[in-house]
């Protein structure tokens, strides 16, 4: 670069900015000569007349791609200084490579408006000169085209190597490269850890279960580091939930080679920033998939089963897998009034209820709630009535028809694969027989061979997909035996609630609580996986739904019997609670409270004693506070035969109560006169 008449004193009176950039950290580490040349432009600026203090080097973008300038702090600062008129000239090895994606044109316009020069190895460019502007615009367009062509060639080469299964990438733990082939890791401890992971997943059925199993035994899991000082080295650490999911979702462990499983989706934010999000493609959209590429820790069929299992367990995408707890319809029950999903609430005393998750505008009142036993007993009875030997025989006939249909589709896929293999063999023989001197013909035949290889890979993937979609049916005799003994198996004490849920979901798609026609009845809609629907009606049971016979007896004798006496009377009569349990004193008390049934009116207060309300009025505090102290045994009192509290209101006892009031920071006694207390 030599001094140029385009450079004036006005330009030298402003900053000379040297913009230093490398597209990646690999280039910074391995292409040091390019970086050194860019830093050397500061000395060139001094030779062209700028003072050493007037040269600014912007190197904040080392290792940052120039595709999107909004992510580059150095380029952002450069544009800001140009807009403020602080820059007289911008130095770069190739100024046409300063920015891409349309940002170069914007930089040229800003430089023209602020009289900023651009300087590179080819000369000095004054943007107020139309010829310089045209020349830089042409060089920028050529740079874009050059990058496009290079990117296309590189991507095409990568895709061709991937279609042959030869494109190397970092392997998952448990595998290593050996002379271009993928083999098991020779370290037996590493192999055993991977095998244990898949074995525990098969046993527990969840990633959390695998993590807990490893943590319970103190086992560690290997991880290979990539990049940095630990590049390629193996480290051991605790197994995490994300590591388990990565392993079970990785087709490498099933012996398959896969390429193009993800892609970058770029979006522009309102402030102009470009963000990239890594999106996973469905398996059917993977660019390359080559089963049986290398030995696997699991089979391809097992990988497909895991994929289906994970999809059925993904609650974020609407799946409702069987969970812990005894509620049979948990996750598949909906409200037939508002259409919302119904959750499950577990309370003390084995009191379980389905509650609609939709609330009113104030988020205070639930749409509806019903005891779990009301719904589960009716749905289970419907299921057991449906699963009979006759119904299973009809289902097996339909399954045979479906199996025949899949067999015909498999045959078509097998014939297509045979045709693709035949065409590939022909293309290979044609390429092998061509004379080496005839390069043009050899190049054409090689391209045809690669196309046939890609077609054969697609045919193999189509056949594998067709085989994976084939339903697995159990033996007929086993099904018929199960139908005959299903009620006994269902009610067996060793049968777990999760097993009942799984059996239920194999036939029933969802359950809906339909609008009620009578407050004591529940209408339940059941939708089967076949599309058929049933409606059943069940009588409400559970807390607050005492059987009418028992409730009538409590109403009749409530005024003359205590809760304990009523419990004995109900049990002697052979009556049970709504949940089928025996009556207790606490159970009768809850019914009294729910239905406002008073107890016996026995005069139990003796001379010198007061009731709870009288004591509370004397102390000037709410009666609830006194009841709370009595329930916890914190103050002296006695309880009469009817259950009423009697407090001996002598000076010593009164002093105890007054001390409790004084020690409480919540109670604020109300001062009353003796006349008011007498009233």
- Give the bridge partners for 223, in sequence order: 235
Can 23 be counted among the known catalytic residues? yes
CA distance 1 to 492: 92
CA distance 463 to 409: 9
Q: Burial code of 254-283, b = ≥16 C-beta within 10 A, e = fewer? A: bbbbbbebeeeeeeeeeeeeeeeeeeeeeb
| DSSP 8-class letter at 24 | S
Q: Burial code of 75-91, b = ≥16 C-beta within 10 A, e = fewer? A: bebbbebbeeeebbbbb
∠ Cα 500 506 508 (to 5°): 90
In sequence order, the 6+-apart residues with CB closer than 8 A to the CB of 629 are: 635, 660
In sequence order, the 6+-apart residues with CB closer than 8 A to the CB of 64 are: 21, 23, 71, 72, 74
Tokens of 163: 């279609």
Beta pairing class for 609-610 and 221-224: unpaired
For 260, phi then psi, to 5°, come to 80, 35
Q: Which of 335, 352, 354, 328 is nearest to 343 (CA)?
A: 354
Q: Are 82 and 107 in contact (CB under 8 A)?
A: yes
Residue tagged active-site, from 10, 23, 143, 563:
23
Q: Which of 666, 642, 672, 654 is nearest to 615 (CA)?
A: 654
3-state DSSP assignment of residue 602: coil
Tokens of 233: 């080295």
CB burial class (10 A; 0-12, 13-18, 19+) of residue 253?
buried
- Measure Cα distances from 116 to 80, 91, 124 in Å: 13, 11, 11
∠ Cα 451 455 458 (to 5°): 140
Q: Are 21 and 28 in contact (CB under 8 A)?
A: no
Q: Are 117 and 125 in contact (CB under 8 A)?
A: yes
- Measure Cα distances from 15 to 4, 80, 81, 123, 336 in Å: 17, 13, 9, 18, 73
3-state DSSP assignment of residue 23: coil
Active site residues: 23
């Amino acid at each position: 670069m030599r001094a140029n008449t385009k450079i004036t004193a006005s330009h030298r009176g402003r900053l000379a900015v040297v913009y230093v950039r490398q597209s990646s950290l690999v280039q910074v580490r391995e292409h040091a000569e390019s970086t050194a040349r860019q830093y050397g432009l500061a000395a060139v600026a001094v030779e062209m007349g700028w003072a050493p203090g007037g040269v600014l080097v912007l190197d904040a973008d080392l290792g940052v791609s120039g595709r999107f300038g909004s992510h580059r702090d150095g380029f952002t600062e450069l544009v800001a200084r140009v807009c403020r008129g602080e820059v007289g000239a911008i130095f770069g090895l190739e100024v046409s490579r300063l920015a891409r994606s349309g940002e170069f044109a914007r930089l040229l316009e800003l430089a023209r408006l602020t009289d900023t020069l651009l300087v590179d190895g080819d000369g000095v460019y004054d943007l107020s000169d139309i010829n310089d502007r045209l020349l830089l615009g042409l060089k920028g367009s050529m740079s874009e085209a050059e990058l496009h062509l290079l990117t296309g060639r590189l991507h095409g080469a990568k895709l061709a190597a991937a279609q042959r299964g030869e494109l190397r990438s970092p392997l998952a733990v448990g595998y290593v490269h050996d002379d271009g082939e993928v083999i098991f890791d020779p370290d037996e401890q590493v192999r055993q850890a991977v095998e244990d992971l898949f074995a525990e997943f098969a046993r527990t059925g969840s990633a959390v279960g695998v993590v807990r199993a490893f943590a319970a035994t103190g086992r560690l899991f290997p991880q290979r580091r990539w990049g940095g000082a630990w590049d390629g080295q193996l480290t051991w650490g605790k197994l995490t939930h994300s590591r388990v999911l990565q392993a079970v979702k990785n087709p490498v462990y099933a012996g398959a080679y896969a390429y193009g499983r993800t892609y970058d989706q770029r979006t522009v934010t309102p402030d102009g920033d470009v963000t990239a999000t890594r999106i996973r493609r469905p398996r059917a959209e993977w660019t390359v998939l080559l089963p049986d590429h290398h030995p696997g820790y699991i089979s391809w069929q097992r990988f497909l089963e895991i994929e289906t299992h994970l999809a059925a367990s993904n609650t974020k995408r609407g799946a409702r897998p069987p969970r812990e707890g005894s509620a049979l319809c948990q996750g598949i029950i909906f409200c037939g009034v508002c259409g919302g999903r119904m959750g499950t609430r577990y309370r003390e005393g084995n009191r379980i209820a389905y509650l609609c998750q939709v609330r009113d505008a104030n988020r205070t009142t639930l749409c509806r709630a019903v005891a779990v036993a009301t719904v589960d007993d009716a749905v289970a009875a419907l299921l057991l009535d449906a699963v009979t030997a006759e119904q299973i025989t009809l289902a097996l006939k339909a399954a045979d028809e479906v199996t025949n249909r899949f067999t015909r589709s498999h045959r078509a896929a097998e014939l297509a694969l045979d045709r693709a293999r035949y065409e590939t063999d022909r293309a290979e023989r044609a390429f092998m027989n061509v004379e080496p001197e005839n390069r043009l013909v050899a190049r054409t035949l090689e391209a045809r061979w690669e196309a046939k290889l890609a077609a054969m890979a697609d045919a193999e993937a189509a056949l594998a997909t067709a085989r994976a979609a084939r339903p697995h049916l159990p033996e007929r005799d086993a099904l018929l035996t199960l139908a005959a003994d299903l009620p006994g198996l269902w009610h067996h004490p060793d049968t777990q609630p999760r097993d009942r849920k799984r059996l239920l979901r194999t036939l029933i798609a969802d359950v809906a609580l339909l609008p009620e026609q009578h407050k004591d009845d529940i209408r339940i809609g059941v939708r089967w996986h076949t599309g058929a629907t049933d409606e059943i009606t069940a009588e409400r049971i559970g807390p607050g739904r005492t059987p009418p016979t028992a409730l009538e007896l409590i109403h009749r004798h409530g005024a003359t019997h205590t809760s304990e006496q009523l419990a004995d009377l109900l049990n002697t009569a052979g009556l049970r609670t709504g949940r089928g349990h025996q009556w207790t004193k606490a159970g009768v008390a809850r019914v009294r409270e729910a239905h406002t049934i008073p107890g016996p009116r026995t005069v139990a207060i003796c001379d010198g004693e007061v009731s709870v309300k009288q004591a509370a009025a004397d102390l000037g505090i709410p009666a609830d506070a006194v009841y709370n102290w009595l329930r916890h045994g914190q103050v002296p009192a006695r309880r009469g035969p009817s259950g009423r509290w009697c407090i001996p209101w002598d000076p010593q006892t009164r002093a105890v109560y007054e001390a409790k009031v004084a020690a409480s920071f919540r109670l604020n006694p109300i001062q009353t006169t003796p006349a008011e207390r007498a009233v």
